[in-house]
Structure 1
């Protein structure tokens, strides 16, 4: 497995990975608005737009196949961490997160975790920092990780 920076050639694959993982574990808990919101955020065009901003995007790949995606915005907010469902629980998410933390510009990284991913983030060392929230149909748990 190799962790590397996302390239324009990866946009479709990154979108596919995020949508597959989302539909597998998050979408069943959301309303139609939340599903539509995420589909728009995970679309290839949306990734392309964010590539030109203060964002670090990484992919996990092997043999030319992308199966994990991570995104850190403004050096402190983890906005995407998805692994294809058939590749989950193999340490890929942790490897992506660890590499992404090398790009952090702050000693604290935040995430608005989907409710189904809270325990995974706790395993990565994140702690709950507030009440469950909702925005554009997406339900999330605010969490943060202090980088030592």
Structure 2
């Protein structure tokens, strides 16, 4: 199993690369050019760097000195990113990242705006549907909520 640790500034290019690779493989084919561009700007290394300076916790999964997954918790209450390198999916890395971030949740409810292909995965983690499918700048998502353990 990979080692999970807090992200450092020098991890930002690798974090961005993992998110973009997973997004391009699984999500991008179902989106408009606008949605793909929106995600590209949100997942850019400098955008992660700016969020790392704010009230966001970013954890990485590292295997043999290579980043293979990332999770981002925004303001202790919203799962902003959860991506695993496509070559490493199906090995429990995403679930391990999710479990690692749970103790840092500061709200009774953890929310996520999941890409539609990821809804079943979040439901396996214990999330429930929380509203209708929405769209933001071309990104199509399903709101879900998780009752964080107190």
Rounded Cα–Cα distance in structure 1 between residues aligned with 2:92 and 2:138: 30
Question: 4+ residue runs of structure 1 moved beyond 3 angstroms?
Answer: none
Structure 2 stretches lacking a partner, 5+ long: none
Rounded Cα–Cα distance in structure 2 between residues aligned with 1:13 and 1:135: 25
Q: TM-score, normalised by structure 2?
A: 0.97
Structure 1 stretches lacking a partner, 5+ long: none
Rounded Cα–Cα distance in structure 2 between residues aligned with 1:140 and 1:6: 26
Q: TM-score, normalised by structure 1?
A: 0.99
Rounded Cα–Cα distance in structure 1 between residues aligned with 2:107 and 2:44: 28
SS in 1 for 2:131: coil
SS in 2 for 1:102: helix
1:126 paired residue number: 127
Rounded Cα–Cα distance in structure 1 between residues aligned with 2:135 and 2:45: 24
1:77 paired residue number: 78
Aligned pair count reads 148
Rounded Cα–Cα distance in structure 2 between residues aligned with 1:76 and 1:101: 10
**For the aligned residues, what is the CA RMSD?**
0.5
2:93 paired residue number: 92
